Chains A and B, each alone.
Chain A
Amino acid sequence: MQPILKINLTRGESTQFNIPPAWEQEYLGGASLAARLLYSTLTRELDPLSPDSPLLFLNGPLSGTAGPTVGRFVVCGKSPATGLWAESNCGGFWGPELRFCGYDGLWITGKAEKPVYLSVNEGKLEIRAAAAIWGKDTYESQTLIKNELNIPGTHVLTIGPAGENGVLYANLMCDHGRAAGRTGLGAVAGSKNLKAIAVHGSTKPPVASPEKYALLRSEANHILKSDNMTHFFHDLGTAGVADYSDYLGSMPKKYFHQGVFEGAGNVTGSTMAEKILVGVSACHGCVIACGRVVRLEDGLKRKGPEYETIVSFGPNLLNDNLASITLMGELCDRAGMDTISAGGTIGLAFHLFEKGIITKRDTGGLVLKWGDLGMIENLLAITARREGFGEFLAKGSRRLGLHFKAEEEAVQVNGLELPYHDPRALSGMSLVYATSPRGACHNQSDYFVVELGQADSSIGVEFYERQAGAEKAANVARHQDWKTIFNSLVMCIFANIQVETVLGLINAACGLKWGEKELFKAGERAWNLKRAINHRLGLTGKNDILPKAFLEPYQDGGSAGYVPPFDEMIKAYYDARGWDQETGKPTPEKLNDLGLEWVEEDIWKT
């Protein structure tokens, strides 16, 4: 890979950092390599919003090569929401453009005295004043910076007011509406007075065997283009799964407390396609084009919501108005806030208000009522500004619950709000949420697609009944390792792509001679390294839990009457992982097997 540019905003200095080749071979790139690079800097004492806190933007070895769905990058650090490992990956064109600058990463520390943005143009760094842009939303900021730089082909990654104001689930946005959404890294950027990063370049990304790679990537894209799932995502977007999800009872309603919502059918990918869809959008080199372009009554074209946003502001809050959900998604995008966490936190507020735990006295007179569209929009706006009751909402559901002495009511794991794939319908998701290195997350392993049918026996990921129990634990672990490889490359998890294709691309791009064994070991190694980081940051086996809501069955809907046998499942999962049953730590034997013996002292002896 290419060098990383290390930038200290306090001093206004930069240095070039060459990635040790051995680390590239062990971790490939993306979030896995970021974990290795950041390992020693992520300590329990580190305040994620302090100048010392790192913010690492990193590509993978395939980024920008026009391979199958590899136009992505990751942002990593320590999460202000969870206090644990933070990673978020993002599509669009920004990552490839950074590669074209001759860098594969930007490693940012320090804090600028005044708001700044960075411009990296053909490898040359400029730190520029952002006073005139500070306070602007993410869409305006992208436009203003592009206009100011006036360099055609520039791509801008920016925070919005939420990041500036320290909302703990603030995100970073690029290429209009592409988000590095989760774990609050927008707040970390804001704490550094870093508004945005503009990139532009024309360097061709390095590939070990260019001719071989070109042939393989062409074939891979050709196959991917004709795949059923590609057609599915192209035609329906990620929200295409909503109809089936509702049918199975895996789409949560009323903050995970109601199995059926009559209006759910009004807010699906198929409804969007039938009523408001006017186009699609794609990331760099992507043949899927899952992005939605919709037109509402005002006649303007805008980004259409994906599945998580639809459920977050839709059935989760008993809202069946697709146009309003679209606008709520835009409100979050412009403010630079994660839609999953925003909807989850508002859901908890509604839930606690209904139970009488939160009252009008706490909300400043606001009445929180399910399905009140105006109230949802108002809450989003005051959250981004941290104004009034929004100050509570800006801290996320765990802290909101804690404040009102109802932490157990918050549907979150380790401080990250749950995505909208209910483990009472798809039991494997209980393990995915409980053990994800960044808190409840569906992208470290989108195991729900395996539960829905997308199993792959050729890599040992089998199809189990969706409400099976401990017998699927090893299968979940295997899938996590597989998707960790995706997050290393950085490849979109929507690509239904075969292991031999991935291996061919890696070997041609990196000059390796890997087989499936080496590939999966790299995935498992990174998964365990992130686990080790979290142990260093204070995580124990007691953190691997499910929220209380999932220990109570739904009364109706497609998953009524079932709760996952979580205790048995997590024990089986630890066994499958080679983790200690008492502490949840990877055993010394497991660490040794993965070449991670160097973390043993940190997590076992201190």
Chain B
Amino acid sequence: MDVKFPSPEWLQALHIKINSDEHYAKVAKNWEGDMFVVIEPSGPLHERIIYYLDLWHGKCRKTEVLKDLSSVQAKFILTGTFENVSQIMKGTLNPMQAMMTGKLQVQGSMVYMMRNVPTVLDFVRCCQEITSDILA
């Protein structure tokens, strides 16, 4: 399946991927937390995109494309420019590097995030594996 990032189809593909990936299910079996992924306009992306993902015990319970952040509360908000998030999707920017250099802003419990580094990294792997094309 040709899935371009970012798009509603990409988010749907990620939903399916997470719910079918055995490795993620194992690594993330204790993860309890939903998140917003906020992609700020840069390069070819002209409008802000907000994705909502509800991740729970190694599965994805819900995904949604939102217009703003006011309608739902989430445990984490991850924010980055399209350029930086794209690099993570392509595998040219290490996700931990993105967090440590501020290319990916993290709002939420650092305690929980660090406790679950393997889950975070495996979530990124799932994102990368379904990304076959990126908006240019």
Contacts and interface: CB of A to CB of B under 8 A. Distances in A.
Interface of A: 227-229, 231-232, 235-236, 240-241, 243-244, 247, 268-270, 273-274, 449, 452-456, 463, 496
Contacts of A228: 99-102, 104-106
B111 A455 contact: no
B72 interface: no
B97 A270 contact: no
Contacts of A453: 94, 96-101
A463 B94 contact: yes
* Secondary structure type dominating chain B contacts: helix
* Secondary structure type dominating chain A contacts: helix
11 contacts: A227-B102, A229-B102, A232-B100, A240-B110, A243-B115, A244-B96, A270-B112, A453-B97, A454-B101, A455-B101, A496-B100
Contacts of A269: 111, 114
A273 B110 CA distance: 10
Nearest to B97: A453
Nearest to A466: B94
Interface in B103-127: 104-106, 109-112, 114-115, 117-118
A263 to B, nearest CB: 15
Nearest to A240: B114
Contact of B101 (A244, A273, A274, A456): A456
A449 B100 contact: yes
Nearest to B106: A228
Nearest to B94: A453
Contacts of B99: 228, 453
Nearest to A271: B115
A235 B94 contact: no
- Taking each of B99, B102, B114, which has the highest tally of chain A beta carbons within 10 Å of its own beta carbon? B114
B117 to A, nearest CB: 5
Nearest to B95: A453
B100 A244 contact: no
Contacts of A236: 110-111, 114
Contacts of B117: 243-244, 247
Contacts of B114: 232, 236, 240-241, 243-244, 268-270
A240 B115 CA distance: 9
Contact of A455 (B97, B104, B109, B115): B97
Contact of A231 (B97, B98, B106): B106
A276 to B, nearest CB: 13
Nearest to A235: B110
B59 to A, nearest CB: 22
